Amino acid sequence: MIPPRAILAAVSFSETSRVELVLAARLARHCGADLHVLYVEDPLLDAAARQAGIDLSRSTQRELQRFVADAWPAALCSPETHVVAGAAVDVILDVAHQQGADLIVVDGGRMSGAERLLFGSTTERLMRRADVSLLVAPSEWRPPQPDAADLSDLGPVIAIVDMSDQPSVAATKAARELAAVLGTSVEVVHVVPDAETPAALTKQLAEVDRPPMLVLGKNVPSSRGAWPGAFVNRVLAGGTVPILLYVAEQIAQM
């Protein structure tokens, strides 16, 4: 649902993840949504700690609380925090369903070297498997108004539409609704998803006065191909723009 009623931020304790949490918190405040913050514990480490009589989740929960406090304005949202051991993608989707999250916010990383491998192993698998909308935050993103506690002065919400693709058409309506809540304009850009499109789009975004947000439609699950997985990878690699992969309610229920 757009605007979201409940947002789940799946975090690590990295600086790039802190950027993601700041975006999630500002969006939650602007939309009046509940905020949940999740840390996925490594299952092998959790099992080893239990065998040693150590309650790893308790210490991780304290660390997560400190992480939230340092990612202003996340603490202002009074988020519910979760520490769960298991396979990352499975845990993230399970907690999103349990908490009724309309949106999962994830970290896009810097898209180079080891971080590219991390992106492929976690965020990209979420892009393919999620039946909940995803907001991917690039590590270079910065709030449009640092002193504000929401997304005031955000640039346009840009819907990237392939007219032959039903989910991307549904995303246009979501982009309009989100823009209305955020108090900004909406633009609809028709593209053909090919190898040249991400570079052309990145160049176009560089000419926008205020940093925008992109909205694309997402299949459930996404087919293995260039739309949206590799497309999102390439756009994030060349820009600093958050990308919302929107799952329409009627599509998610199929």
Question: What pLDDT score does 198 carry?
Answer: 60
CA distance 66 to 61: 9
CATH class for domain 6-137? Answer: alpha beta
CA distance 66 to 68: 5
Question: What pLDDT score does 223 carry?
Answer: 47
Question: What pLDDT score does 40 carry?
Answer: 94
Residues in CB range of 71: below 8 A, 6 or more apart: 18, 21, 22, 25
Bridge partners of 160, per DSSP, are 189
Residues in CB range of 102: below 8 A, 6 or more apart: 1, 2, 4, 5, 6, 7, 33, 132, 133
Question: What pLDDT score does 211 carry?
Answer: 80
The amino acid that residue 209 corresponds to is D
Question: What pLDDT score does 229 carry?
Answer: 57
Residues in CB range of 15: below 8 A, 6 or more apart: 139
A 10 A CB-CB count for 23 gives 25
- pLDDT tens by residue, the chain, 254 residues: 788 999 999 999 999 899 999 999 999 999 999 999 999 998 888 888 888 888 888 899 999 999 999 999 999 999 999 999 999 999 999 999 999 999 999 987 644 444 444 445 678 788 888 899 999 998 888 999 999 999 999 999 988 876 666 667 788 889 999 999 999 999 888 776 555 566 666 666 666 678 889 898 876 555 444 455 566 666 666 667 899 989 876 444 44
The amino acid that residue 166 corresponds to is Q
Question: What pLDDT score does 80 carry?
Answer: 97
Question: What pLDDT score does 118 carry?
Answer: 44
- Residue 213 phi/psi, 5-degree rounding, is -130, 135
Question: What pLDDT score does 27 carry?
Answer: 97
- Residue 178 phi/psi, 5-degree rounding, is -65, -45
Q: Per DSSP, which regions of 33-114 are E strands?
A: 34-41, 80-85, 103-107
- 47's tokens: 């099992």
> Which residue is listed with tokens 């040249």?
196
Domain ranges of the chain: 6-137, 157-252
DSSP state of 79: P
